[in-house]
Amino acid sequence: TPLSPSSALPPYFMKGSIIQLADGELKRVEDLRAEDFLQSADLSGELKIDSSTVERIDSSRTPDAVIIQFSVGEHKTQVCVEVLVEYPFFVFGQGWSSCCPHRTTQLLALSCARLSVGDVCISLTLKSLR
């Protein structure tokens, strides 16, 4: 069962939002790079970056939403999420990407590429607790 989308995007995706990396450095959301996420996860100790490949993008019964199926990590765990079409994901080698980049840019001023099947997104998992 996909997770339900919230009705609004969180404020930190707005262009110009200040993001604090794990080493304390501050960056604007639009300036983040894949390395920032990888290094921050390394420093955090309890979080691990996984590669999540987009397997399917389907329309949803919820207006302005899509259901995205990901294959996550080395175990290829299948995960479905329902998000608004403008919700941005960070894609390796491409940066911020959404199913409707025009709408993302309109609403958030965040420059976006189109999210497509085969794209590899950054996602998080908790490291196993001992």
Partner 1 sequence: NVEPRSVPVFPWHSLVPFLAPTQSD
Given the structure tokens 């403008």, which residue do they identify?
86
Which residue among 1, 8, 26, 61 contacts partner 1 (CB under 8 A)?
A: 26
Write down the H helix ranges in 23-65.
Answer: 34-44
- Please give the helix or strand (H or E) that residue 118 lies within, else none: none
Give the separation between CA 27 and CA 17, rounded to whole angstroms.
8
Binding mask 88-127 for partner 1 (x = CB under 8 A): -xx-------------------------------xxxxx-
- Binding residues (CB under 8 A) for partner 1: these are 10-13, 17-22, 26, 29, 32, 36-37, 40-41, 44, 47, 49-50, 52, 70, 72-73, 75, 77, 79, 81, 89-90, 122-126, 128-129
